[in-house]
């Protein structure tokens, strides 16, 4: 505590950074930012932009940048991204700002930020092009946790050959995240082909009875293949969970090689 207070008094750290070190969070006008989540859980705190004003999002983003060295914003629209970019450019012109319009994510790294690195690969598999935005969110989050991500797109079961063509590649991954809408059959089929943990990510594509992800979610919950299921469109949860699960898998693979 004394070191933190002395650093604050010397002007080496900001009030927000001092508060985050002492209390585990930093207070802003838009809410309290959980600056210690990555140390506590190994998962960076994300800013859910949906339901907030661009000013709120930018305020939280600057607190994230100040206290953790990076920003991870999800469900961000163009106005949110513009507000973040303007605030970041004023504070740290050398910071990198990446806005992915399809996945609705914004990732910012401070110029001195050192990204984490995990000795693990997460395969993010998408059934079709319509499932790619949610799969992409999962991929970005897994990368931010530190995993290497292998994207495998457009392998839906309407033509099983597309999946079978990629099965050896998917089998190389330590964890597999499978995003699928409509009837959501792809996670179950994939889980029957690999020995890695599989996370089903239902997507809100589809229409009529069971549409908007309902059938995909129920199908994953009723899977006869062993897998874990997250909520509809929960790309952040899938990506964070996937990057957190590889250790046992990698240990077993090393034992087999030896």
Q: What is the pTM of this model?
A: 0.86
Which pLDDT does position 146 carry in this prediction? 93
Residues in the chain: 258
Residues 193 and 171 sit within 8 Å (Cβ to Cβ): yes
Question: Pairing relation of β-strands 175-180 and 121-126?
Answer: parallel
Q: What residues have CB less than 8 Å from 41, skipping those under 6 apart?
A: none
Which pLDDT does position 144 carry in this prediction? 95
Give the CA distances from residue 171 to residues 88, 166, 236, in Å, rounded to whole numbers and listed in that order. 40, 9, 23
Looking at domain 121-253, does it have CATH number 3.40.50.1970? yes
Residues 187 and 223 sit within 8 Å (Cβ to Cβ): yes
pLDDT in tens, 217-237: 999 999 999 999 999 999 999
Residues 139 and 162 sit within 8 Å (Cβ to Cβ): no
Dump the DSSP string for 99-115. Answer: EETTTTEEEEE-TT---
Which pLDDT does position 25 carry in this prediction? 60
Which pLDDT does position 9 carry in this prediction? 57
Which pLDDT does position 22 carry in this prediction? 45
Which pLDDT does position 39 carry in this prediction? 78
Distance CA 146, CA 116 (A): 5
Which pLDDT does position 248 carry in this prediction? 52
Q: Kindly report, as residue ranges, where domains of CATH 3.40.50.1970 are found in the chain.
A: 121-253
Q: Which residues pair with 125 in a beta bridge?
A: 152, 178
**Residues of the chain whose pLDDT is less than 50?**
4-6, 8, 13, 18, 22-23, 251, 254-255, 257-258
Region for residue 213 given its phi and psi (left: phi exceeds 0; alpha: psi -120 to 50; beta: otherwise) = left
With the C-alpha atoms ordered 159, 165, 168, 169, is the resulting torsion angle positive or negative?
Answer: negative
Which pLDDT does position 102 carry in this prediction? 96
């Amino acid at each position: 505590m004394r070191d933190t207070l002395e650093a604050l008094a010397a002007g080496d750290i900001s009030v927000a950074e001092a508060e985050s070190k002492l209390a585990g969070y930093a207070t802003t006008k838009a809410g309290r930012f959980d600056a210690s989540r990555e140390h506590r859980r190994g998962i960076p705190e994300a800013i859910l932009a949906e339901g907030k004003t661009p000013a709120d999002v930018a305020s939280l983003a600057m607190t994230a940048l100040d206290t953790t060295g990076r920003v991870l914003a999800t469900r961000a629209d163009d106005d949110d991204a513009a507000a973040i970019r303007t605030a970041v450019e004023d504070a740290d012109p050398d910071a990198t700002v990446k806005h992915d319009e399809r996945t609705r994510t914004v990732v910012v790294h401070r110029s001195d930020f050192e990204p984490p690195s995990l000795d693990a690969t997460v395969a993010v598999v998408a059934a079709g092009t319509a499932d790619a935005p949610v799969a992409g969110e999962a991929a970005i989050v897994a990368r931010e946790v530190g995993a290497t991500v292998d994207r495998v797109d457009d392998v839906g079961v309407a033509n099983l050959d597309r999946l079978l063509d990629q099965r050896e590649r998917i089998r190389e991954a330590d964890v597999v995240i499978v995003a699928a809408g409509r009837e959501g059959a792809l996670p179950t089929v994939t889980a029957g082909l690999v020995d890695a943990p599989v996370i089903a990510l239902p997507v809100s594509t589809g229409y009529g009875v069971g549409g908007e992800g309902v059938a995909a979610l129920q199908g994953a919950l009723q899977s006869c293949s062993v897998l874990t299921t997250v909520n509809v469109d929960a790309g952040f949860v899938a990506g964070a969970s996937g990057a957190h699960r590889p250790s046992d898998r990698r240990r077993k693979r090393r034992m087999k090689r030896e």
